[in-house]
Structure 1
Amino acid sequence: MRILEVLVIIFSIALFLNIIFLKKKKRCAIIVGLGILYLIVALQIIIEGYRWQMLLGYIAPLILSVAGMLYSISKSKKKYWKWGIAAFSIVYIAFMLALPLVLPIFSFEKPTGEYFIGTDSYHLIDQNREEARSLVKGKHRELMIQIWYPSKETNSLQSEPYIEEVGAITAGLERALSFPAWTLSHLNLVKSHAQKHLAISNDEESLPILIFSHGMTGFRNQNTYQIEELVSHGYIVVGIDHVYDAAATVFPNGKKVLLELSNLSGFEGFDKHMKIWTEDVAFVLDTLEEWNSGKDEEFFKGKFDMDKIGMFGHSYGGATAAQMLLMDARIKVALNMDGVLYGEPIPSIGFSKPYMQMNAEKSIDKTIFDASLEAAISLSGRTRGSYEEFWKESQERRKNALKGKGVTMVIPNTSHMSFTDFHLFSPILPNKGEDIREVHRIINELSLAFFDEYLLEKESGLIWDKAIKYPKIGLLSSIE
């Protein structure tokens, strides 16, 4: 919790206790305490910002004022008053504490690299593609991208919020996850380490580029913990919102495109859909090439090292990274975080370029898959055979991907969303035995080592040296 939130809670608890054990000689002190509490509540809302999880803390001074008055004017049954107020206070305090702790204003760990982080967002229109899902015939495909870049300076401006358009993003997540959007409305109060209007670093003439692709129903900021770490070590990261498949995409004119859940199912549907995402990435790469030459965008002129481009993604975005590695010569290395390998089949000899597959333990453990099968069948109406066939095909594709220049690792006690910021949203979300901060450190160290070794060619064996610190992840060069 933030400092003023903590003070609101502490003063409220202290005053509840004083009301319960009220003595005449302390009434003046309680009145003064209530005045201070009213002031702290006002300051908290003004300075730190309102959030609904603190509502019981905000109205605590009103409750205390009423309780104090009723208790003080009562001439009889004071014992019953005391017990009643005590019981009410215990329940009230429990909920007042629980709500902000269960849904906290979390913070991202400070990036370990030497660079500060600059950022800005850009609206792109692909004049060569029509938007198939638009109600307007002939409308071109539009994208929003965000670029994070290393800088040697910082400024006096506040860091950018983690999610700027929180209303749209949470509305899209509500469609995907079926929870009320308002429960995560506080995420706009979470701060990133990035700032706008910073000068790009001139330590190098040009900088390596990493493209990030979110998962289906995700959004471009969903891996901020990882993006900031990579940028702090000198990479430019370009995050893409794949419009209609992202939780939400908000354009500069205020237009909001929320997630449109499609009826995609199985390999056939998702394989075919992949073309949209790979064309998005290819278009972004084309745009970066134009900007690098000085066309339309002077800020990045000459700053992109177009010979050093890698890609990483989560879930469907991870599969997109693998497809781009297969299809586009500009992508030199790819990192897939827990993504089933949808798209064009991977050759049986694997990739000819460096590829890394990170998986969650729960995603590839056949025992866990079998245990969840009955529930999945009852919810989806699909047959057991279709699920078994899906498992077999996904494992075969994964095996092929790792036969060439592939490496793989499995992080214990993790599930699909462990690779994103999602498990930071609440302490009740991580899996049993999972320390999400430690998981993120492992992902950051290994992904940075992977890109440093195979994209920048800094040091041979770097990723293996890093993996020694974490023997339980079982880094392997192929699947046995």
Structure 2
Amino acid sequence: MRFWEIGLIVVNFVLLGWTLFTRKRTKRWFAIALPVAYCVLIVQLIAEGYRWQMIPAYLSPIILTACYLLTKQKKNAGSWVSVAVKSLLLFIYLSVAVALPALMPVSLFQKPNGPFTVGTTLYHWVDDRREEPFAKDPKDRRELMVQIYYPAGDQGEGDREPYLRNTHEVAKGLEGDLSIPAFTLSHLGLVQTNAFTDARMSDTEKQYPVLLFSHGLNGFRNQNTFEVEELASQGYIVVSIDHAYDAAATVYPDGRTAYFQSVNLSDLPERDRHIQLWKDDVAFVLDQIEKLNRGDVDDRFTGRIDTSRIGMFGHSYGGATAAQMLVEDSRIKAAIDMDGTLYGSTIKDSGIGKPFLLMSAEMSDDSDEDSLEEKLRNKRALAGGGMSLVIPHTDHTSFTDFHLMSPLLRSPGEDPRYVHRIINEFSLAFFDLYVKQRGNSLELEKLATKYPEVHFKVN
């Protein structure tokens, strides 16, 4: 919970408890208690904003007012039965008031560890060469929203970037996948990241390497903010792509929203076919990055992007896309697949032949009839030097921000911040070695020693 949320609950419930159990309740007491209770409420609403999870706490001044109106001055606290009942009711009420905001926190992201402040900016790119396969009008072109995170030169100046710019639409898009009503995620609109909107780019280095990020089916471009911000703070330009109509919701600058529509991708052959759309998206974004480097409208990225050093990572279907692009596009030097089945064209038995790391969840579902084929695909991809790691106490969404959103979404025994630290450290060491071309393979071996519970293997 945030500072003033905690303050509201502590102050108002102390006042409420004192009112219920003190032997003397004078007008003077209420003349002080009521203004304090309402003032703390008003300050919290102004400083931090309303969210529905705080409704029980918001009602505490009203209940305090009711106590004033319904009780007489200098009234005894009552019998032990009365005290016991009041104590039980107050405990239940306090538990609800604390549990709701605690189970759906607003403070999600820790400060990145790198030397750079993080900046971010958003682009709307239209591929005039491709039709939009989900549109009814054949004249519609493929449109993508792309958010870029980068090392910033401003030391915390400017506005902090919100986690989601279009919370309502994304929450509505996630509603079916997470099996929870959209309104329960409305508080994500209050979450701030560590990035600063449109900040000036850092001049520390002449050029910076690039990493592309691709979300999972029904995910969204910001779903791995914990990882994207860390990599940007370590000196990478990170490009996060919304794959329109396969993302939970993509909102264009004119207000149009492309909601998730790929509900028929139920088997391996169909997902193998569909991934071509995502590969074409990534290839288009790579072309746009090269254009940005030649000449950006506001000159932020002009000449600052090292297009000879590009890597890619993704979660789930996005991880499969990263693997496919590593195989097919010479611009991608290394890739990480986070718990993604390797959909797409068949990889040779000899392996990918380029640096590849497959991160997997411990709690994968092996009961599916396609699981044998998936294991064979993984084996081929890892042949000839591919790397793999399995993180304990994780499931498929442990590799995203989702488990930070609520303890209710976590796997048994999982500490999401610890899991994210493992992901970030291995990702950074991998990309530093194969994209920045700094360091050596000993860094990965040191991490394997540092985290002995992680099953890291070089094939």
Fold agreement, TM-score > 0.5: yes
Structure 1 distance, partners of 2:157, 2:202, is 18
Structure 1 distance, partners of 2:55, 2:98, is 11
Residue pair 1:18, 1:30 contacting (<8 A) in 2 also: no
Q: Which position in structure 1 is the counterpart of 2:198?
A: 197
Q: Which position in structure 1 is the counterpart of 2:454?
A: 473
Report the TM-score, using the length of structure 1 for normalisation: 0.91
Q: Indicate the larger mover: 396-405 or 101-110.
A: 101-110
Equivalent residue letter for 2:449: I
Structure 2 distance, partners of 1:90, 1:347, is 62
Work out whether 1:444 is the aligned partner of 2:424: yes
Work out whether 1:399 is the aligned partner of 2:379: yes
**Alignment RMSD (CA, Å):** 1.9
Deviation at 1:93, TM superposition (A): 1.3
Work out whether 1:332 is the aligned partner of 2:312: no
Q: Which position in structure 2 is the counterpart of 1:369?
A: 366
Residue pair 2:116, 2:232 contacting (<8 A) in 1 also: yes
Q: CA offsets, 1:22-51, max 9 Å, x none?
A: 323555224312211100101111111111
Q: 1:78 to 1:127 in 2, by over 3 A?
A: same
Structure 2 distance, partners of 1:155, 1:352, is 41
Structure 1 distance, partners of 2:12, 2:204, is 52
Q: Which position in structure 1 is the counterpart of 2:323?
A: 322
Q: 1:93 to 1:77 in 2, by over 3 A?
A: closer
Deviation at 1:300, TM superposition (A): 1.2
What runs of 5+ residues in structure 1 fail to find an aligned partner?
A: 371-386
Structure 1 distance, partners of 2:446, 2:97, is 47
Equivalent residue letter for 2:177: A
Residue pair 2:217, 2:317 contacting (<8 A) in 1 also: yes
Where does 1:143-158 land on structure 2 (aligned, <5 Å)? Answer: 143-158=144-159
Residue pair 1:11, 1:33 contacting (<8 A) in 2 also: no
Identity %: 44
Q: Which position in structure 1 is the counterpart of 2:173?
A: 172
Structure 1 distance, partners of 2:125, 2:200, is 22
Q: Which position in structure 2 is the counterpart of 1:383?
A: none
Equivalent residue letter for 2:444: I
Residue pair 1:175, 1:259 contacting (<8 A) in 2 also: no
Q: Which position in structure 2 is the counterpart of 1:186?
A: 187
| Secondary structure at the counterpart of residue 7 of structure 2 | helix
Residue pair 2:320, 2:341 contacting (<8 A) in 1 also: yes
| Secondary structure at the counterpart of residue 456 of structure 2 | coil
Where does 1:54-73 land on structure 2 (aligned, <5 Å)? Answer: 54-72=54-72
Structure 2 distance, partners of 1:76, 1:439, is 54
Deviation at 1:87, TM superposition (A): 3.7
Q: Which position in structure 2 is the counterpart of 1:44?
A: 44
Structure 1 distance, partners of 2:12, 2:57, is 7
Structure 2 distance, partners of 1:109, 1:47, is 20
Q: 1:403 to 1:297 in 2, by over 3 A?
A: farther
Q: Which position in structure 1 is the counterpart of 2:209?
A: 208
Q: CA offsets, 1:212-235, max 9 Å, x none?
A: 000100000000000011011100
Equivalent residue letter for 1:118: G
Q: Which position in structure 1 is the counterpart of 2:229?
A: 228
Residue pair 2:174, 2:182 contacting (<8 A) in 1 also: yes
| Secondary structure at the counterpart of residue 329 of structure 1 | coil
Q: CA offsets, 1:113-151, max 9 Å, x none?
A: 100011100000000000011122310000000000102
Q: Which position in structure 2 is the counterpart of 1:138?
A: 139
Structure 1 distance, partners of 2:386, 2:30, is 67
Where does 1:108-119 land on structure 2 (aligned, <5 Å)? Answer: 108-119=109-120
Structure 2 distance, partners of 1:418, 1:75, is 55
Q: Which position in structure 2 is the counterpart of 1:217?
A: 218
What runs of 5+ residues in structure 2 fail to find an aligned partner?
A: none
Where does 1:222-371 land on structure 2 (aligned, <5 Å)? Answer: 222-294=223-295, 298-363=299-364, 369-370=366-367
Q: Which position in structure 1 is the counterpart of 2:435?
A: 455
Deviation at 1:83, TM superposition (A): 5.3
Q: CA offsets, 1:313-359, max 9 Å, x none?
A: 00000000000001111111000000000001111110111000000
Deviation at 1:78, TM superposition (A): 5.2
Deviation at 1:179, TM superposition (A): 1.3
Structure 1 distance, partners of 2:75, 2:339, is 67
Deviation at 1:74, TM superposition (A): 11
Structure 1 distance, partners of 2:74, 2:378, is 73
| Secondary structure at the counterpart of residue 363 of structure 2 | helix
Q: Indicate the larger mover: 444-453 or 297-306.
A: 297-306
Equivalent residue letter for 1:452: D
Q: Indicate the larger mover: 70-79 or 23-32.
A: 70-79
Q: CA offsets, 1:3-26, max 9 Å, x none?
A: 111111012221221122132355
Structure 2 distance, partners of 1:155, 1:266, is 47
Residue pair 1:169, 1:248 contacting (<8 A) in 2 also: yes
| Secondary structure at the counterpart of residue 121 of structure 2 | strand
Deviation at 1:296, TM superposition (A): 5.3
Structure 2 distance, partners of 1:283, 1:423, is 31
Equivalent residue letter for 2:274: H
Equivalent residue letter for 2:375: Q
Deviation at 1:152, TM superposition (A): 2.8
Deviation at 1:81, TM superposition (A): 6.0
Q: 1:50 to 1:25 in 2, by over 3 A?
A: closer
Residue pair 1:176, 1:261 contacting (<8 A) in 2 also: no
Deviation at 1:86, TM superposition (A): 3.7
Deviation at 1:426, TM superposition (A): 1.1
| Secondary structure at the counterpart of residue 143 of structure 2 | strand
Residue pair 2:292, 2:302 contacting (<8 A) in 1 also: yes
Q: CA offsets, 1:422-453, max 9 Å, x none?
A: 00011232222211111100000000000001
| Secondary structure at the counterpart of residue 420 of structure 2 | helix
